[in-house]
Amino acid sequence: MTVGDAGIQISVTVDEDLTDIELTSLEFVFVSPSGNTFTRNPASKTTYTATYLTFASDINEDGTWHMYFRNLATGFEYNEGNNVFTVRKKAEDMASDNG
């Protein structure tokens, strides 16, 4: 993934049935490399999986990001350590850094 990517699917699978839970009661929580935090509701869900599609303004820093998921209706929070992803600069931005 690169800075500014839009339409990237980020999914999380949980061990609770999400069928009757409203999308507004589910949140993806993103923590940027600089420590800024923001939340987004899923774009869609199935029985056990929720999916979010990124906007260009969401992923605005290169480095290591953390993501966790919470169900506000039940209070469950999923923040296992495997929800980490790396974002790199776009190729044109890397080129301008070098020259």
For 91, the token pair is 């190729």
Give the C-alpha separation, 2 to 42, whole Å: 21
Q: What is the pLDDT of residues 16-37, one digit of tens each?
A: 999 999 999 999 999 999 999 9
* Pair 26, 18: CB distance under 8 Å: yes
For the question of whether the overall pTM of this predicted structure is more than 0.85, the answer is yes
The length of the chain is 99
The dotted CATH code for 9-97 is 2.60.40
Residue 19 — φ and ψ, nearest 5°? Answer: -50, -50
**All structural domains of the chain with their residue ranges:** 9-97
Give the C-alpha separation, 9 to 40, whole Å: 13
For 75, the token pair is 């209070």
Q: What is the pLDDT of residues 65-87, one digit of tens each?
A: 999 999 999 999 998 656 899 99
